[in-house]
Every structure is written in structure tokens, then in C-alpha cells.
Structure 1
Amino acid sequence: MVRWIGTSWKMTKTRADAAAYAEALRAAIPPGGWPGVQPFVIPPATAISVVRDVLGPSSPIIVGAQNAHWADAGAWTGELSVPQVADAGATLVEIGHSERRQHFGETDDTVNQKVQATLRHGLTPLVCVGEPVQVRATGRAAEYVLRQTATALNQATAPSAVLLAYEPVWAIGEQGREPTVAEVAEVTEALAAEYGDRISGVLYGGSVNPANARQLLQAPGVRGLFIGRSAWTADGYLRLLRIATDVAQQLHPVPAQR
């Protein structure tokens, strides 16, 4: 059972910064990669091709895009299509992050359109879902997130390719509150029970750091982590990959090669 470990850099890093980060990752890749772990990084759009080129075509690290439009082409000034981000080297697309919902008017319906476009072109959608603090306070977080997810995946042509990232809005960003494992599990268990093997897995994101990563990776329903600031340096990301590899080996040992 693979553990997905990824980071989105949001609106940080120049192309030179991105290249330096990717060089550090490439130099640190162990022989055979990270057993039981699938790493991915999501640079800003300006650096997708830079990171892909530095890592190389045989790298075990997936490169993603932070957003893509649902249309393949057209009069959408400032937007990028799925074919365009794929052309830049992305094979995964982050969709529906709470910041895009809050600041750019994304809705469950537009998220669904982007999911369908991403699947149509053979890329992996990483669909972000999560409740605001007001909903958490009512005790209906799981219900809220399941409703978000159902709309996002409506009529999805290849749901087995979809990743879900549960990111409670109250846990994200510099002011985010670190959740307990029980708070995470309340939603991730519900997502896993509803979607199970129909999707590639449920990830958790929000105030993830080296101190809590091990516990979060073992939370019920969690198949990986989607990490912010703690992975914005190559050293920080590599540390988290080592933790994930250790957890993966403990849960599902891989026999040593002779």
C-alpha cells in the first residue's frame, strides 16, 4: 500500500529556487527510490518545466500543477489548460484548494469540471476538500466533506485515478491549528468508507510537520500527506519522506533485495 507524500509550494520560489530544490532532491534519491512511498512536488506554473527537467524523465518524483482550467483552449485570459500543464511536465493537477475557493470563487461545480478535464487527458486529479471552522463546531465535518467530494467526483470517468486531500480550512496556513489524530480520522475514515478502493487514496494536509507526520500517516483512512511549509525546503521534504518510508516499512515490510 503506497503512501503519497507531496508538497505544494504555492506562490513561492523563482525558477532558480525551484531548480536548486530539485537538484537537492535528485542528489538525495536513494537507489530504488523510497520503498512504499510515492513522492510528488507541485511548483508554481513558471517552474513546472524547470523541476521536471532537473529531476529527469526517470525520476520517481511526480511533478504536478497547482491549478488547470476545465477547457482545453479558448478565451480564458490568465488561465492554463490541462494540456498546457501536461506539456510543461505535470502529470498531476491540484484542484479546489480552499484558497482558490475563498479568493477566486471556485465552487464544487467548477472543481468537478476540472476533475473531468484532468481525467480526460490522463492526468491525476488531487482534489482538495475540507470544512471551515464553523462547520467543525457543529459536529458535521464528515457530512460536509462527503458532500463536497460527491459533487467533485460526479460523473468522473476514471475515479480510480483520483486522489483526495482532506485539508480542514482551520488547519491550513500560518494561523492554522494543528489537529488531533481523532479530528483527522473523523473525516478520513468516512472518506475511506465511502470511496475505499474506488480512488487512489485519501491524503491529509494541514499543519503537517515532522513531529506529527508519523501519527498522521497512521490515522485511520489516511494514505499519505499533503504538506505545506514544512516541506518548502528540500531538507524538510526529505526528512518527511524518510519518516513516511519508515512508516511504510513498519506497516508493510519490503524484503531486502539480494
Structure 2
Amino acid sequence: MRIPIIAGNWKMHKTIDEAVQFVREIKDKVQGTDVEVVICAPFTLLLPLKEAAAGTNIKLGAQNMHWENQGAFTGEISPLMLKDIGIDYCIIGHSERRQYFGETDETVNKKIHSALNHGIKPIFCVGETLEERESGKTEEIVKNQIQKGLVNVTDEDVTKIVIAYEPVWAIGTGRTATPEQANEVIYQIRETIKELYGEGIYTEIRIQYGGSVKGSNAEEIMNQEDIDGALVGGASLLPDEFVQIVNF
């Protein structure tokens, strides 16, 4: 049985006071849910959020990390630093990291291995651009990202990964894939995992949808057969909206 996972991606938003207040507002409203609740916040917020979320069911994730444990990598954060404050998850390969900061399938693969080696669960993002979708290349692009991102990831480790399908054209645009379109691609992702890892594993992998998910469409999205959760952007900044999505 795959446990649904709703992860908020705060991107570059919120001060410490705002973040702590957010947790205070939602913690009682998401307690007792069957859904795994995760907040992926900027680095400066992670430790204050960890303290604010102590004793709740809210888990924390980073939005990026370097694959090396330490070194001359100015401006980067290592997996050891994240592990040191008890971070559970890390978003890896988000389209904004790929588009603006030079993330490649190869660096994604390095980060996935590093996260797994340190007990941090990757939220591994894949997705196509509007041009790629309109050219009929969605399946090819996403399959290629999955294959390259998971190079040398073992059968045991792959089940610790959450895959997030985020069509680039639906992120922050207000546009969203229909639940059926999202489920179709996520089914194809599951089939790719089946090809790579076999029958016994592909049913265990949790696959989220991300792309303008909000309270008003969360239930319809989550009711799709192959969708196990959501990676939520803008709507995760609003306490009531995020709670509505968690309690779909």
C-alpha cells in the first residue's frame, strides 16, 4: 500500500517568523491524516522549522543539495549538513534548478546517490516543456530523465525515492495538466520503473504530480489510480490551502 505524500515546495519564500507561524497554524489540522506531510523550505528555515514541527507529523525537506560531503563549493549545502539537522527529504532535479542553475541528468544522478547514502529521501523531479509536449515527445523526454537519473540506483534504494512528475509548462503558470493527462504520464513513469526494476518493485514507487495543484483540484488529482501525491508550489505558502490539499 503506497502512502500518499503531499510536499510543499516553498521555493524562495518566507522569513523565519512566517515559517514558524505557518507550522503553528497547520499542525493540528494535519495531525492524524493518513497522508505523509512534508514542507520543503529554504535552507535558512530548516532548523527553525524542525524545532517548530517537533512532536508533529510534519516532515521537512530541502530544495537542493550538493553531492559532495564537503569542499570548496561556495554557496552550496552538503548532505551532511542536512542530515545534521534531521532533514528527511530533498528535492532533486526540479525544473527551475535545471533551467536556471545548470542542473543536468548527470548531476541529478550524483545527488540522488549522495542523498540515499546519507539516509535522505530524494524527491526526484522529471517533466517536459510545452514545446516538447506539443511535439509529442513527453514520454520520450520523461523516460530519458528517469533512466539517466536512476543510473546504478539499486533495487533496494529505488523504493526510497519519490518521483515527482512536473510538466514544466504547468509550474507557476496557472495552467495544469488534466488529472487524466497527469495520470497517463505517471502510468508511463511506472512502466519505465517496471522495465528497469521488474514487477516486484514498480508498484511500490510513490509518484507525485506537481503543477498548479491547489485545494480546488487536489481531490480530483489524487483520485487518479497512479498518482500518489502532490508536489505543491504556490498553494503550499497558504496555510488553509495547504491543509485543504493534505486533507483532500
Per the alignment, residue 180 of structure 1 pairs with 178
> What's the CA shift for 1:156?
1.4
One-letter amino acid of the counterpart of residue 180, structure 1: T
Per the alignment, residue 168 of structure 2 pairs with 169
TM alignment of 1:80-159, pairs within 5 A: 80-157=77-154, 158-159=157-158
Alpha-carbon distance between aligned partners in 1 of 2:86 and 2:181, rounded to the nearest angstrom: 36
TM-score, normalized by length of structure 2?
0.92
One-letter amino acid of the counterpart of residue 200, structure 1: I
Alpha-carbon distance between aligned partners in 1 of 2:126 and 2:134, rounded to the nearest angstrom: 17
TM alignment of 1:64-83, pairs within 5 A: 64-83=61-80
> What's the CA shift for 1:29?
4.0
Alpha-carbon distance between aligned partners in 2 of 1:120 and 1:94, rounded to the nearest angstrom: 15
TM-score, normalized by length of structure 1?
0.88
Q: Over residues 65-114 of structure 1, what are the superposed CA-to-partner deviations in whole Å (9 max), with x where a residue is unaligned?
A: 00000000000000000111122331101001111101000000000000
> What's the CA shift for 1:192?
1.6
Matched, 1:207 2:191: no
Contact 2:20 2:48 (C-alpha < 8 Å) held by counterparts: yes
List gaps (5 residues or longer) in structure 2.
195-200
Per the alignment, residue 8 of structure 1 pairs with 9
Cα distance, 1:141–1:162 mapped onto 2, change above 3 Å = same
Cα distance, 1:29–1:212 mapped onto 2, change above 3 Å = closer
> What's the CA shift for 1:50?
0.7
One-letter amino acid of the counterpart of residue 88, structure 2: T
Per the alignment, residue 250 of structure 1 pairs with none
Matched, 1:189 2:187: yes
Aligned length: 238
> What's the CA shift for 1:184?
1.0
Per the alignment, residue 39 of structure 1 pairs with 37
Contact 1:48 1:89 (C-alpha < 8 Å) held by counterparts: no
> What's the CA shift for 1:178?
1.7
Contact 2:213 2:235 (C-alpha < 8 Å) held by counterparts: yes
Alpha-carbon distance between aligned partners in 1 of 2:27 and 2:83, rounded to the nearest angstrom: 21
Per the alignment, residue 55 of structure 1 pairs with 53
Identity of paired residues, percent? 34
